[in-house]
Structure 1
Amino acid sequence: MVRLLSVLAFLAVSLHVHAQRGPDPYAAARAEYRTRLAKVADDDAGGLLALASWCREVKLFGEMRMVAKKIIAIAPDHTQARTLLGERKVAGRWLNKTDAMKELGYVRYKSKWYTLDQYARLKADEGRAKRGRRIHAQVNRLVRRMGARSDTLRDRARDDLVTFARKEELQHLIPKARVLHAELASYWARVRAYEAAQVEVRLQKADLVRLRRFTTSLGTGQPVTLELPEVKRISLGTTVLVPVR
Structure 2
Amino acid sequence: MAVQLGFDLPVRTARGRDDFLVAPSNAMAVAMIENWRNWSGAKMVLTGPAGAGKTHLTYVWAESAGAQIIAACDLNSNDVPALARGPVAVEDVPAIAHNADAQTALFHLHNMVLAEGHPLLLTGTGAVAQWGLALPDLISRLQGALEASIDAPDDALLSAVLVKLFADRQLMPPPDLVPYLLNRMDRSFAAANAVVAALDRTSLALKRPITRALAGQVLDKGIARTQ
Question: What TM-score range do you get, normalising by the shorter chain?
Answer: under 0.3
Q: TM-score, normalised by structure 2?
A: 0.18
More relative contact order, 1 or 2 (CA 8 Å, 6+ apart):
2
Higher helix share: 1
Bigger Cα Rg: 1
